[in-house]
Amino acid sequence: MAEAPIIEAHDLHKQFKLSLYQGSLKAMVLSGMRRKTRVVEALRGLDLAVRPGEAVALVGRNGSGKSTFLSLVGRIYLPTCGTLEVRGRVAPLLELGAGFHPDLTGRENIMLNGVILGLTRAQVSEREDSIVEFAELRDFVDAPLRTYSSGMQARLGFSVAIHTDSEILLVDEALAVGDESFQEKCFDRIEQLKREWRTILFVSHEMTDVTRVGTRAVWMEQGRIRMDGDPAEVVDRYLADAHHSP
């Protein structure tokens, strides 16, 4: 493990200022133009180094900062303070369905996402067949995304992400998507990615996924790391804790 970390976070903090106006001028005027904001501390000094080829599972309760950390690695937000270095391209699967546009067709979304994730247009065209094939969406590729079921969207998102050349795959919530046979296909592909020395960072509440896919597990609590180590051990302690403090 002499290789430099591909993701390196030092004393990482992230605060969100939640505005209570919710995008409405009316609400703002009615509240008398006072700035009503609430500060939420999602990350409070996170230190973590992930090396190439690791599959790191993030576990923890809702609001412990797992998704925020993934979004920071995916450059959706800027850290409030601390440093975060990401030394590779990132393919994010944040929440369901990646960054798809509901009004565009499957094919248009593949192109849009492929290029956002750093492929050239020629590369996306080349891989399009294989992406559609893996997602099993041949008959729907020219229909707008809003006509897709959530399972279909998730399959397409997963398929696009694994067909990019990104060194890092971020997965929030749904590691293996679709029905059971499709899930097996996802797990096979994840194993392949691990053999290709790609780095996977995923959030999961499925403890079987954590032990099956993870080479390492990180238990997060209130924006910090509570435990970091072997997936089986982390899961045991985490579950024991969850039972003791409801």
Residues that bind other proteins (CB under 8 A): 16-19, 22-26, 28, 71, 74-90, 92, 94-95, 98-104, 108, 111-113, 115-117, 120-121, 165, 167
Structure tokens at 242: 């969850």
User: Strand 224-229 relative to strand 37-50: parallel, antiparallel, unpaired?
Assistant: unpaired
Nearer residue to other proteins within complex by CB, 118 or 229: 118
How far apart CA 226 and CA 221 sit, in angstroms, is 6
Smallest gap from Cβ 101 to other proteins, in A, equals 6
Nearer residue to other proteins within complex by CB, 100 or 238: 100
Smallest gap from Cβ 115 to other proteins, in A, equals 5
Nearer residue to other proteins within complex by CB, 192 or 239: 192
Smallest gap from Cβ 241 to other proteins, in A, equals 30
**Could you tell me which of 57, 1, 16, 31 has the C-alpha nearest to residue 225?**
57
Nearer residue to other proteins within complex by CB, 165 or 233: 165
Smallest gap from Cβ 243 to other proteins, in A, equals 33
How far is CA 139 from its chain centroid? 28
Nearer residue to other proteins within complex by CB, 126 or 188: 126
Nearer residue to other proteins within complex by CB, 97 or 231: 97
Smallest gap from Cβ 228 to other proteins, in A, equals 23
**H-helix or E-strand spanning residue 106:** helix 106-116
- Answer for the pair 115, 91: CB distance below 8 angstroms, yes or no: no
Half-sphere exposure of 58 (CA within 13 A, CB side): 28
Query: What number of other Cβ atoms are within 10 A of residue 147's Cβ?
Result: 11
- Answer for the pair 67, 92: CB distance below 8 angstroms, yes or no: no
Smallest gap from Cβ 196 to other proteins, in A, equals 12
